[in-house]
């Protein structure tokens, strides 16, 4: 097992003692988006559960080939590679006791490239996946905190919803997720154990080279010797380390009683202060240009993302979170090794 896989394995080993996974024994688990940040940690969890004697059939759907450097987690997994919006691929998937629908890009640049596909992954694909769920099975739909877009008062609670319209720059993503949640709730009305998780800004090891999400892009810049921002970094963000996010997601899938759950971190930070932390970690200068925030803020991006985590705290007693400084340190370690591997190949 290489250094990259070891980083993720160590994170996952912190999750296992916190959750009773025994009901997975003898079951079939279908995971979409298995090579994404969240999907990789789900797959790593299943791998380590197998090591501890839990017997499962695992089917993992990936759009592109699963990374070779994470092959340790893919041993004895039935990989299906291709486009989930393709009807033939969908028809080839087996029936499953547990379905985790985590397919779809979390990067705005990615989900805006093909708006119709973005919508399809969250709507028609979600409907089709429910047809693959065995009677009595459980379903988890990965939604997003972007459904709160347009609201001005934080933190956002699960009983709230955004105010954007269908002409919003990110409508394909926001409306796709809203519709996906509505599909989940329609299934719940038919007594299906299905839940939606509104995930906000998960970060950590497991990302691929060139990931454009803020933390990853900042670290990549810093590794090159200087961290230059495009604006003053005044917007606020609440980040959630990936192992905390996946721990909560497992709890929602296995034990959740409510239709919708927020999944986010515990502390808020400005982008400027985030950049300074990363600059300090990598001992590089952080440069702020003399431009206004409004000139460079991504189209439709929210000014604040803080979620109300009361439901998770009350139902699952989740109060311990990986501190941002520790999470950033692990993420920097991951990206250092990842880019060193690329340079060595070249």
What pLDDT score was predicted for residue 114? 84
Residue 86's Cβ-side half-sphere holds a number of Cα atoms within 13 Å equal to 11
* Two structure tokens written together for 147: 């459904």
pTM for the model stands at 0.94
Bond from prior residue into 155 cis (ω within 30 degrees of 0): yes
Domain membership flag for residue 147: yes
Domain membership flag for residue 225: no
What pLDDT score was predicted for residue 342? 78
What pLDDT score was predicted for residue 108? 67
Cβ pair 21, 254 in contact under 8 A: yes
In angstroms, rounded to a whole number, what is the distance separating the alpha carbons of residues 72 and 1?
6
Cβ pair 70, 4 in contact under 8 A: yes
Range of the domain at 259: 3-202+241-264+306-321
Domain membership flag for residue 340: no
In angstroms, rounded to a whole number, what is the distance separating the alpha carbons of residues 260 and 252?
9
Domain membership flag for residue 332: no
CA angle in degrees (0–180, nearest 5) for 303-170-211: 80
* Two structure tokens written together for 85: 């919006």
What pLDDT score was predicted for residue 292? 52
Strand blocks (E) in the chain: 27-32, 56-62, 78-81, 96-101, 133-144, 193-199, 202-203, 227-228, 236-237, 240-241, 260-263, 269-270, 286-287
CATH code, domain carrying 47:
3.40.50.720
Q: How many domains does the chain have?
A: 1
Domain membership flag for residue 101: yes
Domain membership flag for residue 277: no
- Each residue's pLDDT, cut to its tens digit, for the chain (346 residues) gives 899 999 999 999 999 999 999 999 999 999 999 999 999 999 999 999 999 999 999 999 999 999 999 999 999 999 999 999 999 999 999 999 999 999 987 666 667 778 999 999 999 999 999 999 999 999 999 999 999 999 988 899 999 999 999 999 999 999 999 999 999 999 999 999 999 999 999 999 999 998 989 999 999 999 999 999 989 998 989 999 999 999 999 999 999 999 999 999 988 999 999 999 999 999 999 999 875 544 444 556 666 779 999 999 999 999 999 999 999 999 999 999 999 987 776 4
What pLDDT score was predicted for residue 109? 67
Which burial class, exposed, middle or buried, applies to 214 when counting CB atoms under 10 A from its CB (0-12, 13-18, 19+)? buried
Domain membership flag for residue 293: no
* 305 Cβ contact list (under 8 Å, min separation 6): 145, 154, 200, 201, 236, 237, 238, 264
Cβ pair 302, 149 in contact under 8 A: yes
Domain membership flag for residue 120: yes
* Two structure tokens written together for 124: 């028609």
């Amino acid at each position: 097992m290489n250094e990259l896989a070891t980083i993720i394995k160590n994170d996952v080993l912190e999750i296992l003692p916190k959750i009773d996974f025994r009901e997975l024994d003898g079951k079939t688990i279908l995971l979409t988006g298995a090579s994404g940040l969240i999907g990789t940690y789900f797959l790593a969890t299943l791998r380590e559960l197998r090591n501890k004697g839990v017997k499962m059939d695992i089917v993992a759907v990936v759009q592109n080939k699963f990374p070779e450097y994470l092959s340790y987690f893919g041993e004895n997994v039935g990989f299906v590679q291709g486009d989930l919006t393709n009807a033939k691929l969908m028809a080839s998937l087996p029936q499953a006791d547990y379905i985790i629908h985590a397919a779809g890009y979390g990067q705005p640049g990615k989900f805006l490239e093909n708006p119709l596909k973005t919508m399809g992954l969250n709507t028609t694909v979600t409907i089709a996946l429910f047809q693959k769920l065995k009677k009595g099975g459980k379903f988890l739909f990965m939604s997003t905190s972007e459904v709160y877009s347009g609201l001005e008062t934080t933190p956002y609670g699960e009983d709230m919803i955004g105010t954007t319209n269908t002409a919003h720059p990110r409508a394909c993503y926001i409306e796709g997720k809203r519709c996906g949640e509505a599909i989940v709730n329609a299934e719940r009305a038919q007594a299906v154990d299905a839940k939606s998780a509104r995930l906000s800004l998960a970060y950590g090891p497991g990302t691929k080279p060139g990931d454009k999400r803020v933390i990853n892009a900042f670290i990549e810049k810093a590794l090159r010797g200087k961290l230059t921002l495009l604006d003053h970094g005044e917007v606020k963000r609440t980040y959630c380390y990936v192992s905390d996010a996946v721990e909560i997601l497992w709890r929602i899938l296995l034990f959740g009683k409510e239709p919708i759950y927020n999944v986010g971190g515990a502390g808020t930070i400005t982008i400027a202060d985030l950049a300074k932390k990363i600059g300090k970690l990598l001992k590089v200068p952080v440069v702020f240009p003399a431009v206004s925030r409004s000139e460079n803020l991504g189209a439709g991006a929210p000014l604040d993302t803080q979620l109300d985590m009361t439901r998770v705290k009350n139902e699952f007693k989740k109060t311990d979170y990986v501190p941002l400084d520790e999470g950033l340190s692990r993420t920097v370690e991951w990206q250092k090794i990842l880019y060193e591997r690329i340079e060595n190949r070249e």
